[in-house]
């Protein structure tokens, strides 16, 4: 395969072949000109005579025949053991009387060499999807985080200091053991399936009233960026099963979709975003109060949407997949 510093790129091969075929140069003279062997020069000249300019491109090095290729019935047995029993190359090879390297090669060709490529429930290869246009599907969910006590939490300061800070945080109710109840931050998150542009709000509950309010504001926020919402996908939480949620979606002209019960993989894009949210914002540094952490969320969302390269969309920022409207890429 040619590369930037190759002696003969397809363009150079064509010039070499034309010197021999069209201009009458000898293969040895042309080879000296391009600093290659005369056999290489003769090869490209012969291919130019037979195929013309199209023959100057790279060809696969795969052999035309593979008489020692693993038989199809054996491949099916390897795949079956991998999917149904989650066996590795060594135990599969032991059962079938094969070399472990052979089994591993088959698993690599079938993209089964990593168990992470398989669905836990069915054993089938994970099928990834992406809707064609922004707004075709919005994923919604709630990320629950314990509030940060004044002075900082135990993640950065340790259990002892974390308990002291919780006890010293004013204005908090206490349980029957007289321990302070710091409370929970409910981060209502929305992410567009096609672009991965994210929207989030922090509230103190996850009721239907709060969830529908977040959805209405998120739909308006996406609309300002040229996105018309058509569907929304949620889990089977009480807020998303409520009559108010369905009524709100109907009024907004949005089709309601639900994930399969006990199958968070169906909503995998937002589950993955929650991990990024935790690593890049919630637990990224020491916050000395819950107010400070909540104040840092808008900056994180801006960086995520406008600057952070997303590997699933070609290492581009999510906002680049929306319409290029003025003022939306700052």
**SS3 labels along the chain:** CCCCCCCCCHHHHHHHHHHHHCCCCCHHHHHHHHCCCHHHHHHHHHHHHHHHHHHHCCCCCCCCCCCCCCCHHHHHHHHHHHHHHCCCHHHHHHHHCCCHHHHHHHHHHCCCCCHHHECCCCCCECCCCCCCCCCCCEEEEEEEEECCCCCCCHHHHCHHHHHHHHHHCCCCCECCCCCECCCEEEEEEEEECCCCCEEEEEECCCCHHHHHHHHHHHHHHHHHCCCCCCEEEECCCHHHHCHHHHHHHHHCCCEEEECCCCCHHHHHHHHHHHHHHHHHHHCCCCCCCHHHHHHHHHHHHHHHHHCCCEHHHCCECHHHHCCCCCCCCC
Task: Indicate if 283 and 143 belong to the same structural domain.
Answer: yes
- pLDDT band for position 149 (50/70/90)? confident
Specify if 164 maps to a domain: no
15-33: burial string, b at 16+ Cβ within 10 Å, e else: ebbbbbeeeebebeebbee
Find the range with the poorest average confidence among 23-32, 119-128, 254-263, 298-307. 119-128
Distance in angstroms (rounded) separating the CA atoms of residues 156 and 286: 6
CB of 215 closer than 8 Å to CB of 249: yes
Task: Indicate if 261 and 214 belong to the same structural domain.
Answer: yes
Instruction: Say which residue, 179 or 217, is predicted with more confidence.
Output: 217
Task: Indicate if 52 and 197 belong to the same structural domain.
Answer: no
In this predicted structure, what is the pLDDT of residue 330?
42
Contacts of 195 (CB under 8 A, 6+ apart): 134, 227, 313, 318, 319, 321, 322
End-to-end CA distance of the chain: 40
Output the average pLDDT for the chain. Answer: 87
If you count them, how many residues does the chain have? 330
Look at residue 171 and tell me whether its pLDDT is greater than 70: no
Look at residue 241 and tell me whether its pLDDT is greater than 90: yes
Task: Indicate if 22 and 113 belong to the same structural domain.
Answer: no
In this predicted structure, what is the pLDDT of residue 326?
47
Tokens encoding 212: 């529908």
Tokens encoding 260: 């399969």
How many other C-beta atoms lie within 10 A of the C-beta of residue 8?
18
Look at residue 176 and tell me whether its pLDDT is greater than 80: no
Distance in angstroms (rounded) separating the CA atoms of residues 311 and 5: 28
Task: Indicate if 84 and 188 belong to the same structural domain.
Answer: no
Short-list 267, 324, 260, 273, CA closest to 300: 273
Average pLDDT on 174-191 reads 80
Task: Indicate if 110 and 204 belong to the same structural domain.
Answer: no
The count of domains in the chain is 3
How many other C-beta atoms lie within 10 A of the C-beta of residue 222?
21
- pLDDT band for position 244 (50/70/90)? very high
Distance in angstroms (rounded) separating the CA atoms of residues 5 and 32: 18
Specify if 67 maps to a domain: no
Short-list 40, 50, 97, CA closest to 71: 97
Average pLDDT on 121-135 reads 73
- pLDDT band for position 175 (50/70/90)? low
pLDDT digits (tens, 9 = 90+) for 1-59: 556 566 788 889 999 999 999 999 999 999 999 989 999 999 999 999 999 999 998 88
Distance in angstroms (rounded) separating the CA atoms of residues 138 and 161: 41
Task: Indicate if 309 and 193 belong to the same structural domain.
Answer: yes
Look at residue 249 and tell me whether its pLDDT is greater than 80: yes
Domain hosting 22: range is: 10-56
Task: Indicate if 143 and 195 belong to the same structural domain.
Answer: yes
Query: pLDDT > 70: what percent of the chain?
Result: 88
What are the two backbone dihedrals, phi and then psi, of residue 191, each rounded to the nearest 5 degrees?
-140, 135
In this predicted structure, what is the pLDDT of residue 177?
60
pLDDT digits (tens, 9 = 90+) for 54-112: 999 888 888 888 888 899 999 999 999 988 888 889 999 999 999 999 999 999 988 88
- pLDDT band for position 126 (50/70/90)? low
Distance in angstroms (rounded) separating the CA atoms of residues 85 and 115: 11
Task: Indicate if 143 and 284 belong to the same structural domain.
Answer: yes
Instruction: Say which residue, 125 or 148, is predicted with more confidence.
Output: 148
Specify if 154 maps to a domain: no
Task: Indicate if 190 and 310 belong to the same structural domain.
Answer: yes
Task: Indicate if 98 and 243 belong to the same structural domain.
Answer: no
What are the two backbone dihedrals, phi and then psi, of residue 216, each rounded to the nearest 5 degrees?
-60, -45
In this predicted structure, what is the pLDDT of residue 229?
94
Task: Indicate if 29 and 86 belong to the same structural domain.
Answer: no
- pLDDT band for position 178 (50/70/90)? low
Average pLDDT on 163-172 reads 74
- pLDDT band for position 323 (50/70/90)? low
Instruction: Say which residue, 4 or 319, is predicted with more confidence.
Output: 319
């Amino acid at each position: 395969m040619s590369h930037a510093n190759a002696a003969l790129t397809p363009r150079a091969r064509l010039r070499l072949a034309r010197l021999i075929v069209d201009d009458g140069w000898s293969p040895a003279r042309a080879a000296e000109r391009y600093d290659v062997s005369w056999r290489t020069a003769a090869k490209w000249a012969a291919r130019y005579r037979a195929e013309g300019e199209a023959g100057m491109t790279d060809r696969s090095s795969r052999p035309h025949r593979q008489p020692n290729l693993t038989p199809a019935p054996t491949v099916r047995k390897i795949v079956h053991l991998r999917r149904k029993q989650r066996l590795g190359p060594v135990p599969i090879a032991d059962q079938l009387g094969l070399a472990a390297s052979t089994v591993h090669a088959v698993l690599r060709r079938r993209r089964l060499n990593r168990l992470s490529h398989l669905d836990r429930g069915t054993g089938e290869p994970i099928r990834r999807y992406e809707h064609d246009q922004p707004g075709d599907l919005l994923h919604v969910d709630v990320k629950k985080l314990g509030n940060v006590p004044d002075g900082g939490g135990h993640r950065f300061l340790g259990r002892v200091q974390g308990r002291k800070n919780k006890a010293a945080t004013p204005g908090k109710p206490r349980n029957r053991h007289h321990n302070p109840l710091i409370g929970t931050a409910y981060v209502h998150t929305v992410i567009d399936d096609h672009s991965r542009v994210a929207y989030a709000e922090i509230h103190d509950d996850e009721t239907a009233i709060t969830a529908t309010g977040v959805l209405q504001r998120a739909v308006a926020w996406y609309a300002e960026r040229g996105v018309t919402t058509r569907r929304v996908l949620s889990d089977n939480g009480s807020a998303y099963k409520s009559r108010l949620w369905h009524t709100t979606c109907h009024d907004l002209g949005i089709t309601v979709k639900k994930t399969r019960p006990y199958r968070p993989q169906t909503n995998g894009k937002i589950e993955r975003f929650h991990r990024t949210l935790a690593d890049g914002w919630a637990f990224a540094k020491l916050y000395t109060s819950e107010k400070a952490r909540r104040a840092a969320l808008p900056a994180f969302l801006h960086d995520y949407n406008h600057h952070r390269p997303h590997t699933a969309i070609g290492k581009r920022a999510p906002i680049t997949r929306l319409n290029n409207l003025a003022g939306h890429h700052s």
